[in-house]
Amino acid sequence: MSLLESENVTKTFDEGRQTVQVLRGVSLSVDRGEVVALEGPSGSGKTTFLSILGCILTPTSGRVAIDGREVDPKDPSALPAIRKKSIGFVFQQFNLFPALSAQENVEYSLNVRGWKGVVARKEAERVLDAVGLADRKGFLPRDLSGGQKQRVAIARALAGAPGLLLADEPTANLDSESGRQILDLFRDLAKKENRALVIVTHDPKVRAIADRVATIHDGQLAA
């Protein structure tokens, strides 16, 4: 069984008197240790699809299962529990708390997931070491480079061992060299820690580290 399974996912939004169909029957499965690049032009539906995979939105119809757990579109209240247990997010804006150190940013995300005290501290140290920031754990975001901030964001996503990692344009705010290093790190971690990784991107460098490329056009996966 794939860690992530989606089948015939649709999504519509009501805009005034109109109903807009953003996704039109999208199916995608991702195995543990697999890296999938999700491409498509702006407005194609890829970010909406990522939000459904990340249990931020529910599909209008279709099926989504994460780590063997079915997502019930009629029960949005169940989504936070799935996110906390099974999903790690990385965004292009880093979204770090400026008054917290690198380690405190990671520990805070663990606290939200129910990890506390020494256990959370040791897990934060472990993932910061995994992304090469053991010597920067006490630094505030303002004292870190863009690439280092994104490494903290990746560490935060890894913390607590979620099986699914979702990244939305993770290299958009990085220079070319930092972006390449982040993508190499992503792939290494997905393979070493047996995580499923989906990256929404316009960056052609992602193709080089992906096992597979899926392209969305007009709400459908291209054949």
pLDDT value at position 75? 82
Q: Is 72 a residue whose pLDDT tops 90?
A: no
Higher pLDDT among residues 17 and 166, named by residue:
166
What global pTM score does this model have? 0.91
pLDDT at 14: 85
Judge contact between 150 and 182, C-beta under 8 A: yes
Residue keyed to tokens 């992503």: 186
4-95+150-221 CATH, one of 3.30.230.10, 3.10.150.10, 3.40.50.10420, 3.40.50.300: 3.40.50.300
Q: In whole angstroms, what is the distance from residue 127 CA to residue 76 CA?
A: 30
Given pLDDT bands bounded at 50, 70 and 90, which one contains residue 73?
confident
What is the spatial distance between Cα 181 and Cα 195, in angstroms, rounded to a whole number? 18
Cβ 30 vs Cβ 2: under 8 Å = yes
Query: What confidence score (pLDDT) does residue 65 get?
Result: 94
- Measured between alpha carbons, how far is residue 9 from residues 27, 34, 59, 74, 143 in Å? 6, 21, 6, 14, 42
φ/ψ region of 48 (left if φ > 0, alpha if ψ in -120 to 50, else beta) reads alpha
| pLDDT recorded at residue 165 | 95
Which residue ranges make up each domain of the chain? 4-95+150-221
What confidence category does residue 1 fall into, taking pLDDT thresholds of 50, 70 and 90? low
Segment 149-176 mean pLDDT: 92
Tell me the three state secondary structure of residue 183: helix
